[in-house]
A = this chain, B = another copy of it.
Amino acid sequence: MPTARSAVVLLSGGLDSATAAAVARQEGFQLFALTVRYGQRHAREVDAARRVARWLGAARHLELEVDLAAFGGSALTTDEEIPKDRAIESPSIPSTYVPARNLVLLSLALAWAEALGVHDIVIGVNALDYSGYPDCRPEFIEAFEAAARLATRAGVEGSRFSVRAPLMRMTKAEIIRLGLGLGVDYGLTWSCYDPVPDGTPCGRCDSCQLRARGFREAGVPDPLLQP
């Protein structure tokens, strides 16, 4: 049962959401973890989410199927090639962008939060070391909170839904150091968009590049890559 200090946390299985969830747990939140299978190619992310939820001691972990692949429009949900060795500082939004993904994910988290009577939602978005996805920026999060108030019975009755994005202004290296300080085992997480057939990360997609740079700058090895 949710308590006065419970939160719904969006858990993808990646490094950022694991860290954001660990921050919320440290702040005393009981966690209701939500993982959405939206048709992403890197479905092993979902296995990682399960491991992370167990490690977090989540009160519940719900997996929901929402087939965004049916809409197309993203290399992440179709057969289109995942960009490799891309300059990750490039200002352009890459083809791995999934149309309106974070709006869909937050809307689902809100639906669960309202049903539970919970007013906090945790998401691991980050507008610094990221791929330029528009739905990772603080102005989007604020617009979502405004819509959430108007979209819900709880909002109309005076509750304010708060979207907590504790990593918003951190570099990947800062995120990793924060997580290590909270005991996060990054060996449980998964980032690669396009693993090679033997099941190891490709090392060349945006997500692998951002992760590698983060561990390098944090000055620690990535446990996922340890033999």
Contacts from A to B (Cβ < 8 Å): 62, 64-68, 70-74, 93, 97-104, 107-108, 110-112, 114-116, 134-135, 137, 139-140, 143-144, 146-153, 155-156
Residues A71 and B155 in contact, CB atoms below 8 Å apart: no
Residues A93 and B150 in contact, CB atoms below 8 Å apart: no
Residues of B within 8 A of A116 (CB): 71, 73
Instruction: List the B residue with the shortest CB-CB distance to A146.
Output: B143
Question: Could you jot down 8 A-B contacts, CB within 8 Å?
Answer: A71-B116, A99-B115, A100-B148, A103-B107, A103-B111, A104-B108, A143-B151, A144-B151
- Whole-angstrom CA separation of A144 from B144 in the bound complex: 8
- Whole-angstrom CA separation of A148 from B148 in the bound complex: 13
Whether A93 touches B134, Cβ cut-off 8 Å, given contacts A103-B148, A151-B102, is: no
Residues B114 and A100 in contact, CB atoms below 8 Å apart: yes
- Whole-angstrom CA separation of A147 from B93 in the bound complex: 18
Residues A114 and B99 in contact, CB atoms below 8 Å apart: yes
Residues A70 and B62 in contact, CB atoms below 8 Å apart: yes
Residues B110 and A100 in contact, CB atoms below 8 Å apart: yes
Residue of B72, B74, B103, B155 touching A147 (CB-CB under 8 A): B103
Whether A112 touches B71, Cβ cut-off 8 Å, given contacts A66-B64, A150-B139, A151-B134, is: yes
- Whole-angstrom CA separation of A64 from B153 in the bound complex: 25
Residue of A73, A108, A149, A153 with most chain B CB atoms under a 10 A cut-off = A153
Query: Nearest chain B CB to A109's CB is how many angstroms away?
Result: 9
Instruction: List the B residue with the shortest CB-CB distance to A8.
Output: B71
Residues B152 and A134 in contact, CB atoms below 8 Å apart: yes
Whether A100 touches B152, Cβ cut-off 8 Å, given contacts A71-B115, A107-B107, A115-B74, is: yes
